[in-house]
Amino acid sequence: MPFGSLVIQHNPVVSNPPGGEFNLSLYPVGIVRVDPNSYVQIIKDMAGYFSCKFDILGPESILGELMDNGLGREVRTYNHYGVKAWEGVITTMRMSTRSSQRVETLEQMANKIKVRVSIDRISGQQTANVENAASQASYGIFETVEELGYLVTIKNRGDTLANILEKDLSDPHRQKEFRDKGDPNIPAGMAKLTVFCSGYYFYLTRRFYSAHVRANANTNVVISAIIDNVGDFVKTSSVETNTQQVWQRYDNDDMAWDVIVTASKTGDTSDNRFVVGMYDDRSFIYEQRVSPTLPNITLIKDGQNRIFDRSSRPIAGMLLRPNTFMRNVSVANRSGKVYSDVWDDPQVTYIATVRYTENGQKVRVQTEAQVSTAQPGSVTAFENADLDRFLRGGGGFSRGRR
């Protein structure tokens, strides 16, 4: 079922959003409207709601105000019947007019900063965290470490640099980028605002996690500790018990999301896989991956590339989710052959990533093998490839050290 609408609203994680609190509902029609053909969403079994991209069309004055106050806002998208399809936050915006472009992003932002320095080529020191409370109230906490090489007697210089970085990095408007590249197809006085969003897991990619316990613990204990410690944006969590033992100590500026993913990939003591992600209403879920047994093969893709459930009801591409098995009946199979292991069935595959594009209502799924072998710039990097092109450094969410 096609795209219906989206809502841009106050991010419940922050207490003082730029521009105050507001709710803006957008549709494919109106003076300010969403271009439905620009809509793309990605959902992954190891992230949940991963990324989303769309264009807003309207008067330059209105879209300029939205861009000034849009970063960090919550976005919810819905299909034609009003069923929610995706949820996350705005991380990058690009406004195009006839003559120019302006880009602003949270990707380079930091408002909790420390500097690590070498003082004699052997030993080192680091500054205390320098924090910008106003920025944190507007956007949430974004941490980073600046690594410096050898300098002479510079502990005080490290402190000075930390304060300088705090001023430069804590306000995303200071990092805006202008370009002379305009779009001649945009009418005078009008603009196109391209919005890039990430799921709520994004906040975990910008927070350090530290623990100093020199012992192993159940995987679920470690993951729960991370959410309790730095998951201030998580509204509810469901963490399944997993007695697989993992190391508890993390004291090397490890990003919380990296720790969670690494721990999740260890599976359990019976070699079952686990998945993790952020879903509806800021819910964090860590659970065993769907069992590869025939009753759990929930999707059937036919020769016309239509997708149905086991009851032969069509599934809207916008609502398709990963962490399930799909049978493709257009693939040749041995007549009457019964496979004791579903992984041996040539028609069946596990869905790890789902990409939905409104233009043509196309659904692209990726299997676990495709995800593990994908190259940079493919759907596993950051599905909105435009972001990699216009952000320096190609994105990369887990950027604790600068």
Which residues have a Cβ under 8 Å from the Cβ of 159 and sit 6 or more positions away? Answer: 115, 127
CB neighbourhood size of 31 (10 A): 9
- Which one, of 328, 274, 340, lies nearest residue 299 by Cα? 328
Distance in angstroms (rounded) separating the CA atoms of residues 240 and 113 = 34
Give 246's DSSP letter. Answer: E
For residue 52, the number of C-alpha atoms closer than 13 Å in the C-beta half-sphere is 25
Q: Which CATH number fits domain 207-291: 3.55.50, 1.10.3470, 3.90.550, 3.40.50?
A: 3.55.50
Q: How high is the pLDDT of residue 380? A: 33
CB 240 within 8 A of CB 263: no
Q: How high is the pLDDT of residue 298? A: 66
Q: Give the amino acid at 300.
A: I
CB 58 within 8 A of CB 295: no
Q: How high is the pLDDT of residue 16? A: 94
Q: Distances from the Cα of 166 to the Cαs of 72, 130, 136, 143, 183, in angstroms?
A: 19, 7, 12, 10, 35
Distance in angstroms (rounded) separating the CA atoms of residues 325 and 342 = 10
Residue identified by tokens 């034609």 is 80
Phi/psi of residue 167, nearest 5 degrees: -70, -40
* Nearest-10 crossing angle of helices 256-264, 219-230: 160
- Which residue(s) pair with 246 in the sheet? 217
pTM of the model: 0.88
Which residues in the chain land under pLDDT 50? 152, 372-402
Distance in angstroms (rounded) separating the CA atoms of residues 15 and 12 = 7
CB 132 within 8 A of CB 166: yes
- Which residue(s) pair with 208 in the sheet? 255
Do the bridges between strand 112-118 and strand 143-150 make them parallel or antiparallel, or are there none, so unpaired? Answer: parallel
Q: How high is the pLDDT of residue 148? A: 72
CB 217 within 8 A of CB 211: no
Please report the DSSP string for 12-64 in residue order. TT-SS-TT---EEEE-SSSSSEEEEEEEEEEEETTTEEEEEEEEEEEEHHHHH
- Which one, of 201, 238, 202, lies nearest residue 220 by Cα? 238
Burial class, 157, CB count within 10 angstroms (exposed 0-12 / middle 13-18 / buried 19+): middle
Burial class, 209, CB count within 10 angstroms (exposed 0-12 / middle 13-18 / buried 19+): buried
Give the pLDDT confidence of 140-192 residue by residue, as tens digits.
999 998 877 655 455 556 567 777 778 888 999 988 888 878 888 999 999 99
Please report the DSSP string for 252-276 in residue order. EEEEHHHHHHHHHTT--TT---EEE
Q: How high is the pLDDT of residue 59? A: 97
Give 249's DSSP letter. Answer: -
Burial class, 322, CB count within 10 angstroms (exposed 0-12 / middle 13-18 / buried 19+): buried
Q: How high is the pLDDT of residue 393? A: 33
Give the pLDDT confidence of 5-47 residue by residue, as tens digits.
999 999 998 999 988 888 899 999 999 999 999 999 999 999 9
- Which one, of 82, 88, 86, 87, lies nearest residue 106 by Cα? 88
Q: How high is the pLDDT of residue 349? A: 86
- Which residue(s) pair with 9 in the sheet? 23, 74
Domain-wise residue ranges, the chain: 3-105+173-202, 112-169, 207-291
